[in-house]
Chain A
Amino acid sequence: MYRLILITRYLLKRRITHFAIAAVALCVFTVVVVMTVMIGLVGGFKEKNHAFVGDCVVGTESLVGFPYYEEFMTLVEHSGLVQGVSPVVKSYALYGTEITDNYDNVEIVGVDPVRHSQVTNFAQTLDFNGHQPQKAFVPTYDANLPGCILGINRVSRPDPRGQYVHYDAPFRASVTLMCFPLNAMGALVGAGTNPTVTKRFYYSDDIHTGIAAVDFGYVFLPLDQAQLLCMSGQEKRINALYLKFRPNVGLQEGCRQIAELWRQFQADKAGAPNSFLLEGVNVQSWKEYRRAVVAPMEHEQLMLSMMFTLVGITTVFIVFVVFYMVVNSKKKDIGVLKSVGASNTGVLSLFQGFAFGVGLVGSCVGIFFGWLFLTRINQIEQFCYKHFGIQLWDRTVYVIGAIPNQVDPSALAVIMSCAILACLIGALVPSYLAVRLRPVETLHAGRM
């Protein structure tokens, strides 16, 4: 009981304790704010990538693609594992507009918009046809023209707040796509004559995924049109199948079963024409498929976490210094407590309890102010931009909307635990010194 009373009094009455609490609160505040923003950015980025490709991808790196996909789609659809399958053609093209003679390179993606919307968030990311993706490739100004969907940055530019100009309907505009179709052997189809296929498409919609590469550099085409451009009427091939699992199918287990299905399918197709193209096909979860894109951000998050380890070490050192001072100033109290029967365990738990209190109060204060700051972080940024022209991220460069401010309770629990642990570690040596103190060293009048 005496420990509880003394801990409370030390926490409330001693100014140096207030400094320790403030130091812990400041560290926790910094970690909460930066980690919340970073976790939000990384988590958001992952979610966007997940939503962009579905749960599982059966695909090849090769631009040649692979055949017999329709048979495998039927097989997968009957497996009971998926709620949607979308065949995707991916390739590169030269991109020209009516405005300029210059050609730009783009990534072209051929999809069936309805199927693709069942697997990915394709429909939700369309500007005009979100509610009717089947019309995404039909220009509203002339339904007979071949449509295409452009990354939003090809038709609009974000303002400094990251907002795009929104039109009521797509304006009439055409783009020219020039491709180099490949045959099953990977050679140019028109080698020796004209190796390119050029086709004009009309702007029917734009897509805003929040993934910079997509919003800046992708052009979506109807699946059959993309096959014509990339394979030039050869046998029907695709580069990937995007799959969406049923809710009761786990990611790893689903991928494992699809991989098993694929191995079986590949074995069944052995000896069929161009079946060698099936050998380069991998079954990957969305995380593996998008690793090259997501990994750098995860690496940055890891680096940030390591930097915060330094913040933790600083906290330990601050608490150590404070507690060393406290123990030195409380030597007499320790002697008194021992003279009236306090045990070494009692003294140790007194100072460790005190450290726990500093960690608990400090982290609660830090978390509260961190949360308060985060709830207003976007308003603060807007205020700073309006009055001082300062922005955390230049929205004309970065595909970031609002600053993520959703506090993760589990992250808070980890941060609080770490702060308390740091305090306990910081106070360990001073507490041990307090335990080692012999009462006569502090109570003997001649030694005072």
Chain B
Amino acid sequence: MSESPVILKAQNVHKSYRMGATRVVVLKGVDLLVREGEFVAIVGASGSGKSTLLHILGGLDRPDKGLVQFQGRDVNRMSARELNRYRNETVGFVFQFYHLLDELSVRENVVLPAMISRSITGWLMMRRRARQRGEELLEQLGLRERARHKPYQLSGGERQRVAIGRALMNQPELLLADEPTGNLDSTTGSGILNVFDQLNQAGQTIVLVTHDERVARRAQRIVTLVDGRVKG
């Protein structure tokens, strides 16, 4: 594994937020390397900056200082269009609270990233292929019978599997998961982690954020964040 090329690199990443009159420094020079096909867990106490780091890695936020590179490209220097494309095609996000769109069915939620990146005509031209990919994901995640349901008709575990399906729709090179089991009971959470295991075994690069050591132990490598820095 160690010989695999580096897919993601964070170097001396700083981030702070204004909270009222004070400025809260969250990341104080984080360094991180993720290789292709790796399953990395970032652990740390609440407020240690895990989620902030994940958002910066996924292009949802920008660091105050430092470098984030994906396959050698500086994410911070990407234009708005390139950043949208990066979020759409290169990374897939799984959130603790699923964040599904209630107006869309399970199937529509899953194929949403494919719809977003295309115009109406573009979508009409490739919708069959996208739907086929969506059906494959639903089958793979055990959601085939739930395809026409709305998110609010699903259990927590099912919703998280829909979120995973959505994250995988455009076959991203990097899967970022923010406390994916944080809102689930241990059995359901374990099922979700099994899905991550299977994906990783199939070659998927995964960076998972958790405060739960048991969850983190499912990863190949654990990175611990303490007080805004990587420990050790």
- Measuring CB to CB, which residues of chain A are less than 8 angstroms from any residue of chain B? 1-2, 4-6, 9-10, 13, 332-333, 335-344, 346, 438-440, 443-446, 448
- Measuring CB to CB, which residues of chain B are less than 8 angstroms from any residue of chain A? 46-47, 51-52, 55, 58, 60-61, 80-81, 84-89, 93, 95-97, 99-101, 103-104, 108, 112-113, 115-120, 123-124, 166, 178-179, 182
Residue of B nearest to A9 (CB): B103
Determine which of B47, B88, B108 lies in contact with A340 in the assembled complex, contact meaning CB atoms within 8 Å.
B88
Chain A to chain B contacts (Cβ below 8 Å), 17 pairs: A2-B115, A5-B103, A5-B104, A5-B108, A6-B103, A9-B104, A332-B99, A337-B116, A339-B58, A339-B93, A340-B87, A343-B80, A346-B116, A440-B55, A443-B55, A445-B97, A445-B182
Taking A444-B55, A445-B179, A446-B51 as contacts, is the C-beta distance between A342 and B99 under 8 angstroms?
no
Pair A1/B104 contact, Cβ less than 8 Å: no
Determine which of B60, B89, B115 lies in contact with A443 in the assembled complex, contact meaning CB atoms within 8 Å.
B60
Taking A1-B118, A439-B60, A445-B51 as contacts, is the C-beta distance between A340 and B182 under 8 angstroms?
no
Pair B112/A2 contact, Cβ less than 8 Å: yes
B89: chain A residues at CB < 8 Å are 341
Question: Which label, helix, strand, loop or mixed, suits the secondary structure of the A interface?
Answer: helix
Taking A5-B108, A445-B182 as contacts, is the C-beta distance between A344 and B87 under 8 angstroms?
no
Residue of B nearest to A332 (CB): B99
Pair B115/A1 contact, Cβ less than 8 Å: yes
Taking the closest CB of chain B, its distance from the CB of A347, in whole angstroms, is 11
Residue of A nearest to B166 (CB): A340
B88: chain A residues at CB < 8 Å are 340-341
- Alpha-carbon gap, A5 to B97, bound state (A): 23
Pair A343/B81 contact, Cβ less than 8 Å: yes
Pair B51/A444 contact, Cβ less than 8 Å: yes
Pair B84/A342 contact, Cβ less than 8 Å: yes
- Alpha-carbon gap, A2 to B113, bound state (A): 9
Taking A10-B103, A343-B80 as contacts, is the C-beta distance between A1 and B55 under 8 angstroms?
no
A344: chain B residues at CB < 8 Å are 80
Please indicate which of the listed interface residues A5, A340, A341, A448 has the most CB atoms of chain B within 10 Å of its own CB. Answer: A340
Instruction: Beyond the given A343-B84, A446-B51, please list 8 additional residue pairs across the A-B interface where CB-CB is below 8 A.
Output: A1-B119, A1-B124, A5-B104, A341-B87, A438-B61, A444-B51, A444-B55, A446-B47
Taking A340-B113, A341-B85, A341-B89 as contacts, is the C-beta distance between A445 and B101 under 8 angstroms?
no
- Alpha-carbon gap, A280 to B153, bound state (A): 86
Residue of A nearest to B99 (CB): A336
Taking the closest CB of chain A, its distance from the CB of B140, in whole angstroms, is 19
A440: chain B residues at CB < 8 Å are 52, 55, 60-61
A338: chain B residues at CB < 8 Å are 60, 87
Pair A4/B80 contact, Cβ less than 8 Å: no
B93: chain A residues at CB < 8 Å are 339-340
Pair A339/B87 contact, Cβ less than 8 Å: yes
A10: chain B residues at CB < 8 Å are 103
Residue of B nearest to A14 (CB): B103
